[in-house]
Structure 1
Amino acid sequence: MIKTTAIDDEAIHEPSGQFVQSLARGLSVIRAFDADHPEMTLSEIARATGLTRAASRRFLLTLLELGYVRADGRLFSLTARVLELGFSYLSALSLPEIAQPHLEQLAASIHDSTSASVLNGTDIVYVARVAARRIMSVRINIGTRFPAYATSMGRVLLAGMERAELEAHLTAMEVEHLTSRTISSADALLGELERVRQQGWALVDQELEDGLRSIAAPIRHANGTVVAAINISTTTSNHSVESMQKNLLPPLQLAAARISADLIASRPFEPQLRPGLHLS
């Protein structure tokens, strides 16, 4: 069944008299295509948009001439050039703006808090967050800082560094026991970071605060550089370590992949992007 995206002439609101109806109708032709209808005939497009066959044909021929639509016999489909329409929007977005909708979707699906952070010195700095509930003794806001070595996002960011850079960071860190479970030995931390590097994610179990668990995945740029991290934070009463790996890690990694893809689309020519240096 073809969906309906018809434009009702009577419903068009023209508060300033500047509304360009032909542009709106042309865009409705583009929006008529989706995953269920990647190819359509002229008649199907006319039904989907509520336009006449003659009007649909004019818009299709215009889009064909501009390179946004291709024709294969009676069937029309979009070309990759339509991605240009969204590129300007993406290129103007900052990392927090790119991450936020994905974090909101992730939090809604797992009913736990999600965050994004970058590395700044020896700390992580929160740049985006969706709080499902308050689970820490301190309130987390945009700009909140925590020591990188004791957080899942921090370990993902540290594990993404080159060895020499990592060793310089560890030398500058003041590592201390925040809880009885905190890894505070440099050798033990190096071993854990190597494990994080190999598996591609980090899980911290009550090392930042008793009763708190978190799991994090990296945000990467096109060349594989880790530029940020996102996490899911929960409580020991809500999830076991095994439950986090089974139920939270897959949606977390999917969200990280989507944010990475959007970031690459918005910053395709920044191969040297480094953590903490490009917040906007």
Structure 2
Amino acid sequence: MTRKESTINIERIEAAKDVATLRELLQSVEGNIKGIIGNDPLSFFLERPSQNIIEEIDNYIGLRTVILDKMFTYAPDEIERIEQVNTLLTDLRRNMCRRICALYRTLLAHGVDESFDDDYEVEGKLTVGIEYDSNEGDYGTVLHLENDAYYGSDFAYMLYVIMNNEEERRCALSYIDNCCVRHEEGNTPDMTDKDLLVVDFAYLDDGTSWDECLHRDDLKHICFGYAFHSLYTHNPYALADIVRINSFDVNVQLVCQRLTDQAGQRYKDITKDNE
């Protein structure tokens, strides 16, 4: 069965003058997405859909974002939630960078094994952590707010779809932010976070607001951190989505690498031979 091509575009969205029309457009777009994915998005993404399908879904997601942002009311309770999420993400990002540097210092002080270790990957990632099951729901990873009916979106379903579609579209690079330690010979346990991090955390959150696309008088009191900026402007989440996301994951990991060729030479020896 061939799917009908959607007639919804940016021009129709911009021409919509009332909430009822916008809600109708929103539900039509979400219906198009569900027509592709079906009732079980978990199984759909496990089957690794083609990039053409992923891009088609992404186009619909983009239209949905435009509609929801046009519907967003900036009511006091919504602004308060924006501020709460911004504070949370800034704190999570700060602690991610702090923890990754502490982990690396512990390695330098107590964990180096020169008989095995050739290199290290030390990285932290801050991501959206939505869960969804067609029978069990969202497991508390999505907030259900009093004005859900105003928007008329199936938020739990759509947030899960957006998260997974971004992961497929961007080849697993769909994080809010990440940080890495620069591993070099001569690094010592007494080095500062600024010395160790590839990108200086303080530079990205120095008190200057990352308020791109958020220039409004009722938001001027919020100093937007880099993480909120990334979530909103680098990902296709609408503000109505962001205030409902109730699960953010931070993963910090250290990978010790042994790199050896067929002759048994280790990476550091091969590198020296090629110098």
Q: If the TM-score is normalised by the length of the shorter chain, which range does it land in?
A: under 0.3
Q: With structure 1 as the length reference, what TM-score do the two structures score?
A: 0.22
More strand by share: 1
Which structure has the greater CA radius of gyration?
Answer: 1
Q: Which has the higher contact order (CA 8 A, sep 6+)?
A: 2
